[in-house]
Structure 1
Amino acid sequence: MTKLSVNINKVATIRNSRGGNIPDVIQVAVDCQLFGAEGITVHPRPDERHIRYTDVIDLQPRITTEFNIEGNPSPEFISLIKKIRPTQVTLVPDAHDVLTSDCGWNTLENRDFLTEVVNEFQSMGVRTSIFVDTNLEMIKMASKIGTDRIELYTGPYAEEFKTNKEKAVAPYVEAATMAKNLGLGVNAGHDLNLDNLNYLYVNIPWLKEVSIGHSLISDALYMGLEKTIKAYKNCLNTPVNSTNA
């Protein structure tokens, strides 16, 4: 079964735009779990434009499922992980000034650095995942680094899905198959939504987890959070439907 981890960064973005504590990020995380999410994802950035480091600390005792913390492993980020010790850390190579994550790691060029970070987190009992593109050489190196999982960056899949879904999913199936054969768990995330998620799941049914934020929170504005989470979970538990076949 592929788990749904809800990224609540967008909720914090709305809160921060006005100040105060509306919407309440902690309560949203609690409700997401109540409504069926199997995990909560946050991605604190240095400028704290959405999730703040204090949010992560406040969230820790309220997460009863899996806590996935994403980020570029700066010294501050590593210190946070040492304090929180979440279920999973997803290492993302985003620069401090990017709007959103837009590429995976070059694991060849960053092998020594990533190996050191992965070893440190694993020594704490924290599962590690490296954010990668579908480049097979990068996935091979991720395996040599010793990470537990990879997370496939699905931005290109979501974009090409609009015009050619078979072509869009093909490199992801190839990459996920290689990762599975190398003994890596496979996660996926970025721009997944109610239109494209089921097709990805049907073609890669061994996905361990998908992390979804922007589209899910946007859909919840229309559908409500509970119905939206159920709709996304349904995409991960049903065969491909006639519209996506």
Structure 2
Amino acid sequence: MPSQPATALSVNLNKIALLRNSREGNYPSVLQHAQICLDAGADGITVHPRPDQRHIRPHDVTELADMIRPLKDIEFNVEGNPFAGRHGSYPGFMALVQSSRPDQCTLVPDSDEQLTSDHGFDLIQSGARLAPIIAELHALGCRVSLFMDPLPEQIELAKQVGADRIELYTGPYAAAFLQRAPNLDELFEQYCLAAQTASALGLGVNAGHDLNLLNLPRFRRLPGLLEVSIGHALTVDSLALGMSTAVQRYKAICCS
């Protein structure tokens, strides 16, 4: 029986930017750490700029886009809320994407008040607003992924509004894994059904949020999983392992 194709690893650099922003200057450098990740085998770089600029800032997006654009087979993925407008020196999410033209744009329904992304889109409520935005992103040459909960009925709507991929929100899976919850198997099957639904509709399947070295091996078995975006856990692991080794450890799971 053939092995499952490798899953691409995109490293989210938000926490490197968060550490940098705790002091004046550019230390640690987001660009330098992006290069470390790519040299260690990462398939792409993810950033999630927010209007409050708590971590990734607009200049990071521009500089990373310039750095990655000439590189062959390396993906630049920009995540964020497409409805986030101008706020101080933050130009608005769509303006950032228009100027940087990433390979992939992952739309996420987070608000300024959220500590981190914690739910997928409800496309019954927001699908009509998203459809023209997705069309605009396609015109810019971006592949579009929607951050989604593992709900087949919502995933069907993702196809209808024009998405190319979904990114499954894996926070509940990670929490259940950590707690050794009795419903872990059932929950994983729910994610499998969601992935199968997406694939049957012609949607690619990405995943992200709280995936780590312990829970990723099982989630890697998700049918048709094309890409994982990992930032917080990989950055924490880098404190003990070094970033190159941490990336290599995650990449090895993605290729197993």
TM-score of Structure 1 vs Structure 2, range by shorter chain? over 0.9
Q: Which residue of 132, 137, 142 corresponds with 2:153?
A: 137
Provide runs of 4+ in structure 1 moved above 4 Å. Answer: none
Q: Does structure 2 retain, via aligned residues, the 8 Å contact 1:2–1:205?
A: no
Matched ranges for 1:22-37 at <5 A? 22-37=27-42
Q: Contact 1:15/1:21 (CA < 8 Å) preserved in 2?
A: yes
Give SS of 2:220's match.
helix
- The correspondence for 2:247, drawn from 215, 229, 237, is 229
| Structure 1 residue runs without a partner (length 5+) | 239-245
Stretch moving more, 19-28 or 4-13: 19-28
Instruction: Kindly provide the amino acid, as one letter, of the partner of residue 161 in structure 1.
Output: F
| Superposition map of 1:35-46 within 5 A | 35-46=40-51
* Separation of aligned partners in 2, 1:41 and 1:152: 15
Number of aligned residues? 237
TM-score (norm. length: structure 1): 0.94
Q: Which amino acid aligns with 1:186?
A: V
Deviation at 1:168, TM superposition (A): 3.2
Determine the structure 2 residue equivalent to 1:68.
77
CA contact (8 A) 2:196 2:223 kept: no
- Preserved contact between residue 192 and residue 223 of structure 2 (Cα < 8 Å): no
| Matched position secondary structure for 1:198 | helix
Aligned Cα root-mean-square deviation (Å): 1.0
Range moving further from structure 2, 105-114 or 38-47? 105-114
**CA deviation digits over 1:114-145, x for unaligned, max 9?**
10110000011100000000111111100111
Distance in 1 (CA, whole Å) between partners of 2:60 and 2:219 is: 32
Partner of 1:83: 99
* 1:205 Cα offset (Å): 4.3
User: What does the per-residue CA deviation read over 1:47-91, in whole Å, with 9 as the maximum and x for residues that have no partner?
Assistant: 000000111111112123100000001341111111111000000
Give the structure 1 partner of residue 210 of structure 2: 191
Instruction: Give matches, 1:1-245, under 5 Å.
Output: 1-63=6-68, 64=71, 65-73=74-82, 74-75=84-85, 76-162=92-178, 163-164=180-181, 165-202=184-221, 204-238=222-256
186-195 vs 22-31, which deviates more? 22-31
- Using the aligned pairs only, state the percent identity: 49
2:28, 2:186 → 1: CA distance?
39
CA–CA distance in 1 between the matches of 2:186 and 2:210? 17
Flag structure 2 segments of 5+ consecutive residues without an equivalent.
Answer: 1-5, 86-91
